[in-house]
Amino acid sequence: MPGQLKVAVIGLGSMGSGIASSLLRAGHPVTGGSAFATPAEAVDDADVTIVVALNDAQTEAVLFGPDGAVGAMRPGGVVISSATMPPASARSFAARAAQSGIHYLDAPISGGSVKAEAGKLTVMASGSPEAFRAVRPVLNAIAETVYELGEEAGIGAAFKIVNQLLAGVHIAAACEAITFAVELGLDINRVFEVITKSAGNSRMFENRVPHVLDGDYSPRSAISIFTKDLGIVTELGRMEHFPLPSASSALQLFIMAEATGMGGDDDASVARLFADIAGVHLPKGT
Amino acid sequence: MPGQLKVAVIGLGSMGSGIASSLLRAGHPVTGGSAFATPAEAVDDADVTIVVALNDAQTEAVLFGPDGAVGAMRPGGVVISSATMPPASARSFAARAAQSGIHYLDAPISGGSVKAEAGKLTVMASGSPEAFRAVRPVLNAIAETVYELGEEAGIGAAFKIVNQLLAGVHIAAACEAITFAVELGLDINRVFEVITKSAGNSRMFENRVPHVLDGDYSPRSAISIFTKDLGIVTELGRMEHFPLPSASSALQLFIMAEATGMGGDDDASVARLFADIAGVHLPKGT
């Protein structure tokens, strides 16, 4: 298709390849992945660079490191930065990109690799109206929902942090509750059915408890994502002098699960941590 | 209407009077409230006694204390016990009721006083099929949803405990997150809009955060309900040798809110606790 934006997707893993697939399906020329030695080579001639990184340090290396992406982009190009990071990092990256004439969209994503592949991510983004306008077709190709949250970088990052705080606490609580239900001798399939219609429900309970019921801990989203994200959340709380006891308690549970060797497993593995500690039996996968 | 069950509702407060209103609307003769000096007088000649109490100690006093309800009921009558309590207490009350020829339905309710008045409570109940059959019209009059969870007392209690664990943690997390969002400089009306459609959502976030947005802490459900219920939850965990870090952390927040004088206020007041500690400003009511 003529006039389609050329997009570089920089970042390994299933999120990056899912995003690339969605863009190709929408007709955008895509570069990226292991075919290129450096970010600069991958972004050569691209209109838009999507950085799918774990955190701000990785994002910084991709954008501003040796052979980084920003130096290789033509002026007027747009960076879409998807990592969860402190708002201050996003603001700093936007300012540095602007010095090279590059727009920066602070655009954390949520939804996991299945939704990335389907082009149905949720994007919580902030940045200039020009940047949004320029990348609209790209966002439409990768996301089902795009929240435009403000004109300054850092706002998208802050929304994502609030979301991850809640999601992390809810996963930990779901795992604590469903394993306690086993301890109490309850039929946990029935518990799932009742709680999902009751005051105790959460999006994460609804989404993660089926992994426990199926005994399937293959990583849809890994424990290590939440040790990372709740680490960012609680560190930001400390810097802001704001206590976050619920987030801190949940973080410790993910760290415990990671410490026992489950860091690469599905984040519902916090239930296995409780089961191991309390000596109760959860369903086994087939 | 002929053949309607005569029901005694024992228990003060808006839950009891809401339940009584729903029963009267459905045509059941209802006794109860402050017109009677003792439970025994109130239940005289009733087919069904609904006990709306705070906990197992209150329930025990109503049922088995001096001039208690069970001794005054005709054999074959049914007690519907609605308090959140440890499963062992429910089992013990059912056994003692059975010695007097009285059926016992372990039937914790959730939904608050507004739903009680509307006849739209949720009931998580266990007990004999005979007991369920006998009180079906009564349950239909007071509840929108009745879960029949098993034939033994204690199962309903355990389901309610799992629900309260989750609801309590989710309220505490919602208050922590929305106040942190203020600290981060976000528009919290927009945060509410985005989170309720995102991975971080919970039924309690959706229900309680509007109280914070409106600055309205009149008690729909009070802080003191959760110091009580999470107290029951965590004490049961201790007795079962099952760690409940998320529930314990949330309980401490409700205790802190109560300690600062907000025990009778809406449970979303945990947000005001965070705001007071961190020196941020939440919306004020009008």
User: Per residue in B189-230, pLDDT tens?
Assistant: 999 999 999 999 999 999 999 999 999 999 999 999 999 999
* A220 reaches B (C-beta below 8 A): no
Interchain pair A149, B203: CB under 8 A: no
Neighbours of B216 (CB within 10 A): 15
* Whether residue B247 has pLDDT greater than 50: yes
Interface of A with B in 139-158 (CB under 8 A): 145, 147, 149, 155, 158
How far apart CA B153 and CA B125 sit, in angstroms, is 8
Confidence of residue B74 (pLDDT cuts 50, 70, 90): confident
Scanning chain B, the segments in alpha helix (DSSP H) are 13-25, 39-43, 56-64, 69-72, 87-99, 112-118, 129-142, 155-183, 188-195, 203-214, 223-239, 245-257, 270-278
User: Element (H or E) spanning A62, and its range?
Assistant: helix A56-64
How far apart CA A225 and CA A263 sit, in angstroms, is 9
Q: Which residues does chain A have within 8 Å of residue B207's beta carbon, measured at their own beta carbons? A: 199
Predicted local confidence at residue A74, as pLDDT: 86
* Whether residue B1 has pLDDT greater than 50: no
Is the pTM higher than 0.90?
A: yes
Neighbours of B255 (CB within 10 A): 16
Beta bridge partners of A153: none
Could you give the percent of chain B with pLDDT greater than 70?
98
* Whether residue A3 has pLDDT greater than 70: no
> A105 and A78 in contact (C-beta within 8 Å)?
yes
Predicted local confidence at residue B112, as pLDDT: 82
Q: What is the ipTM of this complex?
A: 0.96
Interchain pair B177, A162: CB under 8 A: yes
* A231 reaches B (C-beta below 8 A): no
Could you give the percent of chain A with pLDDT greater than 90?
89
**In this complex, how many residue pairs, one in chain A and one in chain B, have their CB atoms less than 8 Å apart?**
208
How far apart CA A126 and CA A153 sit, in angstroms, is 5
How far apart CA A168 and CA A217 sit, in angstroms, is 17
Average pLDDT over all residues of chain B: 95
pLDDT tens per residue, range A232-252: 999 999 999 999 999 999 999
Predicted local confidence at residue A1, as pLDDT: 44
Over range B19-42, report the average pLDDT: 89
A280–chain B nearest CA distance, Å: 10
Predicted local confidence at residue A12, as pLDDT: 64
> A191 and B159 in contact (C-beta within 8 Å)?
yes
* Whether residue A199 has pLDDT greater than 90: yes
Predicted local confidence at residue B109, as pLDDT: 94
In order of start, what are the domains of chain A with their CATH numbers? 7-151 (3.40.50.720), 158-278 (1.10.1040.10)
